[in-house]
Amino acid sequence: MKKKTGKSAYAKAGVDIDVKMNALSRAKKMIQKTMTPGVIGNWGSFGGLFKSPGKDMVLVSSADGVGTKLKVALMAQRHDTVGQDIVNHCVNDILVQGAYPLFFLDYFGASRIDEGVFAQIIEGLCKACRENACALIGGETAEMPGLYPKDEYDLVGTIVGAVEKKKIITGKGIRAGDVLIGLPSSGLHTNGYSLARRVIFEQAKLKVNDRLPGTKQTVAEALLAVHKSYLKPVRTLMDHLTVQGLAHITGGGFPDNIPRVLPEGLCAVIDRSTWKTPALFAFIQEKGNVDREEMYRVFNMGIGMVVIVREDHVVEALEVLKAAGEKPLVIGWMEKGPEAVRMMN
């Protein structure tokens, strides 16, 4: 019998199994370096196994995507940051409830598997997992021509973490007089990119390698800045004092995220004069003629995490956060009132 040569029928239809399996095989060494003591068995099984954190622990999970920031990665032909983005985003989401990460699962879907692009994405995922002491124990890699546009892909992640029952942060203890501390963001993080791309590329007519006005960065460098993880500084703070509430400032900005942790009848007053709006946000607002209030609802405007503490803990909290490498700012306070969030100045 003659040996078959050339592409398989499936490859001719747009899906090359060999390319996918080769890409996964090459990624195995990087992925294995993210393994933590809780991982059971070897990577590559149908399901990932992880030890139970214990009877007094509660599991906390979250799922999210990178969104249209992926369009910028494609334009810049740089894919090593988006994997970090999705891990750090998910880490921050469960951190808000006091949880630390246990393991992560990713979904990568594309029109076709480009081994070079895939390797960069896995590199980013593994880097962030190692930095957050989180095991990458599985996921899904799907090649679907006809569903995704040519050469484009999607990246989604799911995280599972744990927190002691008695240490869950619910926000129910927040009261009038508490103080809001803001932790600076590294940029847009992973939200607002549809508007940012429209303003920067369509209205301002900039290219990815152009210098972004008001900065020393190119457009690509500014837009692809990695979504920051707040795990280490916030966990350090939690070891020193009681954190009353946390809000990850993502899609919906200040007006939609802070109320998620507030008891009814309390208002978070945000003083915008306490920090300088980074140049990237100012550029988008000016060139896009975007209403100021909409900017604070779409973007983080330079503050990626809000920490709520008692007034008599503020000085200590600022010292601990600074020692942990952060540049914390007192950005507001809690008071009684019908509005969940009030922006001033």
| Residue 95 tokens, joined | 């951190």
Whole-number pLDDT of residue 44: 59
Q: Which residues contact 315 (CB under 8 A, 6 or more apart)?
A: none
CA 327 to chain centre: 19
Beta strands in 134-203 (DSSP E): 135-143, 153-164, 179-184
> What's the CA gap between 191 and 195, in Å, rounded?
9
Task: Domain 10-167: state its class.
Answer: alpha beta
DSSP string across 275-296: SPPPHHHHHHHHHHT--HHHHH
Can you give the residue ranges of every domain in the chain? 10-167, 179-344
What is this structure's pTM?
Answer: 0.90
Euclidean distance between CA atoms 187 and 223, whole angstroms: 7
How sure is the predictor about 264, in pLDDT bands with cuts at 50, 70 and 90? very high
- Give the pLDDT confidence of 126-166 residue by residue, as tens digits: 999 999 999 999 888 888 888 889 889 999 999 999 999 99
Q: Are 70 and 154 in contact (CB under 8 A)?
A: yes
325 SS3 class: coil
* pLDDT attached to residue 46: 65
Strand-pair category, 39-40 with 49-50 = antiparallel
Mean pLDDT of 31-54: 75
Q: How far apart are CA 286 and CA 128, in angstroms?
A: 34
Q: Please give the Cα distance from 162 to 165 (Å, whole number).
A: 9
pLDDT at 87 over 90: yes
Q: How do residues 231-261 score in pLDDT, each as one tens digit?
A: 999 999 999 999 999 999 998 999 999 999 9
Q: How many CB atoms lie within 10 A of CB 46?
A: 5
Report residue 17's pLDDT band, with 50, 70 and 90 as the boundaries.
Answer: low
Query: Can you tell me the distance from the alpha carbon of 108 to that of 129, in angstroms, rounded to the nearest whole number?
Result: 16
How much of the chain is in helix, strand and coil states, percent to nearest 5?
40, 25, 40
- Please determine whether the domains at 10-167 and 179-344 fall in the same fold group of CATH: no
CATH of domain 179-344: 3.90.650.10
Q: Looking at residue 290, what is its pLDDT?
A: 96
Give 291-320 pLDDT, tens digit per residue. 999 999 999 999 999 999 999 999 999 999
Q: Dihedral through CA 177, CA 183, CA 184, CA 189, nearest 10?
A: -110
pLDDT digit string (tens) for 170-195? 999 999 999 999 999 999 999 999 99
Band (pLDDT 50/70/90 cuts) for residue 51 is confident
